[in-house]
Structure 1
Amino acid sequence: MNHLQIKNLYGPVSTSTERSFITILLDKIEGDITFKEFHPGHRFTFDYKNQPNIYIFKTGTVALVRQPYDILLDFFEAPTIRGMIPIHEASKSLFVMRAITSIEVAIIDKENFYSLLHQYQLWDLFAKHLLLVASTAMEVMFKLNSTSVYEMVRLQLYELMEKPDYIREAITAEQYIRGKTRISRSAIMRVLSELKKGKFITMDNGILKGINKIPINF
């Protein structure tokens, strides 16, 4: 069974959101917003008390991390919109978006963004995009709440394999999985070692290079 067959049986390999609706939306409003370029490493932060803006990424990739505990939520490739879902008032989390590549981003007040949706009659399109985001979030939660360490490692390996080469080359498999799941380093390395011995994965200096039919049970 290859990873495409696994995708059909157990949900999507990658939990990236399909971009058709957001691409159309951005084409409609691009003339009304201003993009600025930021270099790799630039950070944007927001929390419950400070979340007035929408971040519209035209190009590049960002990592979204939740503090405390430095939890990697995911990497997001442009085009994408972040900051659109309100943070609950009980949340103590700080969210950090860090540019992985050079990025072009427009930062716009939420009320101004909503006005553009109204002006160009884009609420329906935006709602369809939010439905995709919601379905993706459910898949993310499923993959992070599996019943065993092995299953979580397995699922995150497929997630990582679907990332662009420049992301996979920039982070070891162990760092990626630990950042997403908070499983201990020793437990992750134990599973990776067994998968390498069984030739189910190919790695080079900790970097995931290939996947070859990782078994559901091991």
Structure 2
Amino acid sequence: MDNTPKENISQIMAVLSVNTKIHSHPRSTIIFLAEKCVLLHKGVVALCRQRDNLVYGYYSAPMIFGLNLSNLNPDLYIRPCGNIQCEIIEHSEVIKLADEHKIWKSIALFSMKMTSQALHYHNRLTATSTRELIIACLMALETEDDIVRSRIVAVDYIQSRTNLSRSAVMKLLAELKSYGGVTISKGLLVSLDKAVLDTI
């Protein structure tokens, strides 16, 4: 996602990050967020819900996960979309450093923005039909960072965020393409024609 508060991320990471604690992780890695803060320095990850593996969103570096510090993350994990570099910090250390360097304002602003994104995502999931849900996901994909759009095919993006069957997604995408509402090349979203989509 490209609408996270980058200036707050930079301020927070400058305080929390220690170069010697940055490690590489392959695509197969799963990092759970219970009582942890994860600083993503390089790569793209999916933020997922454990009980059904639903993807809340795709994020590219630099990014921070687990900053709510209230243990609201036991069901969340991040899954790399390729090789990544990150560091993992216990909440107790985050609190200590935040007190010492007085970065609570930056943390609060960042957390508010992420909460707003979560509510926006929830509203998208309340679409009343499969068609509306798929169109909402396509519009979300269109706003992703270029690095995300270039790595994740549209079908996978939609399916991971909705748990709709692959056949249902493929069928609706084919229909939307036939109307000229969406352009897809090699599985990747190229463009949307919102005027057409509004009439379907």
* Between 184-193 and 121-130, the greater mean CA deviation after superposition: 184-193
Q: What amino acid is the match of 2:129? A: S
User: How many angstroms apart in 1 are the aligned matches of 2:26 and 2:19?
Assistant: 22
Correspondence 1:38 to 2:24: yes
* Between 56-65 and 166-175, the greater mean CA deviation after superposition: 166-175
SS in 2 for 1:43: coil
Q: 2:45 aligns with which of 35, 46, 62?
A: 62
Q: What amino acid is the match of 2:50? A: Q
User: How many angstroms apart in 1 are the aligned matches of 2:59 and 2:152?
Assistant: 15
Cα distance 1:106–1:45, how it changes in 2: closer, same or farther (>3 A)? closer
Correspondence 1:107 to 2:107: no
Cα distance 1:97–1:195, how it changes in 2: closer, same or farther (>3 A)? same
Q: What amino acid is the match of 2:14? A: D
User: How many angstroms apart in 2 are the aligned matches of 1:96 and 1:112?
Assistant: 20
Structure 2 unaligned residues grouped into runs of 5+: none
User: How many angstroms apart in 1 are the aligned matches of 2:8 and 2:103?
Assistant: 10
Query: Identity over the aligned pairs, expressed in percent?
Result: 26
In the TM superposition, residue 156 of structure 1 has moved relative to its aligned partner by 0.7
Q: Is the 8 A contact 1:15 1:139 kept in 2?
A: no
Match of 1:180 in 2: 161
| CA RMSD across the alignment | 2.5
Match of 2:58 in 1: 75
In the TM superposition, residue 185 of structure 1 has moved relative to its aligned partner by 2.8
User: How many angstroms apart in 1 are the aligned matches of 2:87 and 2:181?
Assistant: 42
- Please give the TM-score of this superposition, normalised by the length of structure 1: 0.78
Please give the residue correspondences for 1:1-218 in structure 2 after superposition, counting only pairs within 5 Å: 16-30=3-17, 32=18, 34-46=20-32, 51-85=34-68, 86-88=70-72, 93=75, 95-213=76-194, 214-218=196-200
Q: What amino acid is the match of 1:215? A: L
- Please give the TM-score of this superposition, normalised by the length of structure 2: 0.85
Q: What amino acid is the match of 2:80? A: A
User: How many angstroms apart in 2 are the aligned matches of 1:26 and 1:140?
Assistant: 25
Pairs aligned (count): 198
User: How many angstroms apart in 2 are the aligned matches of 1:135 and 1:97?
Assistant: 19
